[in-house]
Amino acid sequence: MTSPSLALLAAAILCIPAAADQRAPVEPTSLPAPDQPVAPVKPPIEKIDENRYRVGDVIVNQKTREIAVPCLVNMDEGLLEFLLVHENGKVHESLFVTSVSPTNINLAFTLLGYKPSRHLYPIQDENYRVTDSFPDVPEDVKAAARIAIDVEWIDNGKTKRNPVNDWIQHTRIEKPMAPGPWIYGGSEFYNGKYSPEMSGDIVAIFLALSAPVNYPGKDNRDDTVWVCFADRIPPTGTKATVIFKPYKPSETK
């Protein structure tokens, strides 16, 4: 894909009005009042080199299909419900925190051709209550929505990069989160507004409908089992980069 086409695609996406989805978010108390203004996000698209672009503060690599989001280590101990949230979100239960707009991150996924799958998100009834039913999603769509997540940071002057699952521990079995994919679901709109932009949810370990990315594994509906793997995490405040990339099963075996 050439630079003009990527820039034009981004402009076209930004001009498409959001379809107002009236489904209620999972945690409506985390959202602002209905009359609270939410500024529209229109990030500049800047070419860095032959393969990389900057979407706001997000770095997009069209060759590797990687999305790099700058962040800070927010927790090095305690229970986790989120992997990554915006700095105005649920910072008391997230491993990383970022100042990057969730809209920019979702735009990066769209520009690189990632297709969201809603199979983790339970269907809501006519009264917007969550049911026990889930959307019927084709297997190829589910597969296309699988992504891997790495974390990159500087340790004693050297750049290190690990699967982020290694930094999360299961309290009952006392082992790190098993290697495997995360799911890009795209999140949803509420009263015409992009839910993650209001809630601050970006990557959820404990299933959250408002998060664009969710953990699909066992115990993703238990908020008492996932904790920081303290011995593997650098001190809070350490600058890091969360990197989303295509999921390759061969790399997790």
Provide the b/e sequence for 42-52 (b: ≥16 CB within 10 Å).
ebebeeeeeeb
Q: Which secondary structure element, helix H or strand E, spans residue 15, and what is its range?
A: helix 3-15
Q: How far apart are CA 117 and CA 201, in angstroms?
A: 17
What is the β-pairing status of strands 82-86 and 201-204? Answer: antiparallel
Domain span at residue 122? 3-252
Give the three-state DSSP class for 39.
Answer: coil
Per the listing, tokens 């959820």 go with 204
Q: What is the mean pLDDT of the chain?
A: 86
Query: Looking at residue 81, what DSSP letter applies?
Result: S
Residues contacting residue 81 through CB under 8 Å, at least 6 positions apart: 90, 93, 94, 204, 205, 206, 208, 223, 226
First to last CA, the chain: 32
Contact (Cβ atoms closer than 8 angstroms) between residue 121 and residue 211 = no
pLDDT tens track for 45-68: 899 999 999 999 999 999 999 999
What is the β-pairing status of strands 58-61 and 66-73? Answer: antiparallel
Residues contacting residue 212 through CB under 8 Å, at least 6 positions apart: 102, 105, 106, 109, 116, 184, 185, 186, 187, 196, 201, 202, 203
pLDDT tens track for 161-208: 999 999 999 999 999 999 989 999 998 887 888 899 999 999 999 999
pLDDT at 29: 40
pLDDT tens track for 80-120: 999 999 999 999 999 999 999 999 999 999 999 999 999 99
Residues contacting residue 110 through CB under 8 Å, at least 6 positions apart: 13
In sequence order, which ranges of 67-222 are alpha helices (DSSP H)?
102-111, 139-144, 195-199
Q: How far apart are CA 212 and CA 201, in angstroms?
A: 8
Q: How far apart are CA 50 and CA 61, in angstroms?
A: 9
Tokens of 223: 């908020």
Contact (Cβ atoms closer than 8 angstroms) between residue 228 and residue 169 = yes
Please give the share of the chain, as a percent, with pLDDT higher than 70.
82
Q: How far apart are CA 31 and CA 77, in angstroms?
A: 27
pLDDT at 18: 41
Domain count, the chain: 1
Contact (Cβ atoms closer than 8 angstroms) between residue 111 and residue 66 = no
